[in-house]
A = this chain, B = another copy of it.
Amino acid sequence: MSGKSALFIVAEGSEELELIAPVDILRRANINVTIADLTDSEHVKTKSNVLIKTDAKLSDVKCNKYDAIVIPGGPSYKTLAAASVVGEILKTHEQAGSVIAAICAAPFVLYKHDIAKGKNLTSYPSVKSDIEGAYNYKEDSTVVDGKLVTSRGPATAVEFGLRLVEVLLNKEEKDKVAKGILYPL
């Protein structure tokens, strides 16, 4: 293993491609990935009705320390934005210098929990107007600002995963995984 760890926080409606692409890519880079559902469910039911088994109960791991907290998008973003436990996990990890990552509508979760305000960030266009006042909003497909990694939507989920590997490990590891998955062709 790489010695690095990442916690993916999901809820009913999480976008499966935005979950699975970075999980796959981080595990290919030997990063220890844990998927946990807000309601401690054994499975998360994703946006397009795929049932994906979680790795842990969020209540069991919420006090653990991870090198990255990753939040996929999908309609779950509203639930996650309203959940105080998600805010606590994000704040603790931001203060500890961990990587904070969100894709699609999930940057709204960061906004609601008062995370990384003022930094460079992007999101799915639908939540831009809600959050752009609090950040230096960008239109790039994936934006890295120090330990903050954000991306725009399902079609950018592979790039999002690769940039996370680069931030958590290094460019060589990112390039190795990219080559294996044929990115870019």
* Residues on A facing B (Cβ under 8 Å): 15-17, 20-21, 23-24, 27-28, 35, 43, 46-53, 124-125, 141, 152-156, 158, 178, 181-185
Contacts and interface: CB of A to CB of B under 8 A. Distances in A.
B185 A24 contact: no
Dominant SS at the A interface?
A: mixed
A181 B35 CA distance: 23
Contacts of A16: 20, 23-24
A158 to B, nearest CB: 6
26 contacts: A16-B20, A16-B24, A17-B20, A20-B20, A20-B21, A21-B154, A23-B50, A24-B46, A24-B50, A24-B154, A27-B49, A28-B48, A51-B52, A124-B182, A141-B182, A141-B185, A152-B182, A152-B185, A153-B181, A154-B158, A154-B181, A155-B158, A155-B181, A155-B183, A156-B185, A158-B158
A181 B126 CA distance: 12
Contacts of A47: 24
Contacts of A158: 17, 154-155, 158
Counting chain B CB atoms within 10 Å of each CB, the highest count among A17, A46, A47, A49 belongs to A17
Contacts of A182: 124-125, 141, 152-156
The 4 closest A-B pairs by CB, nearest first: A155-B183, A51-B53, A153-B182, A154-B181
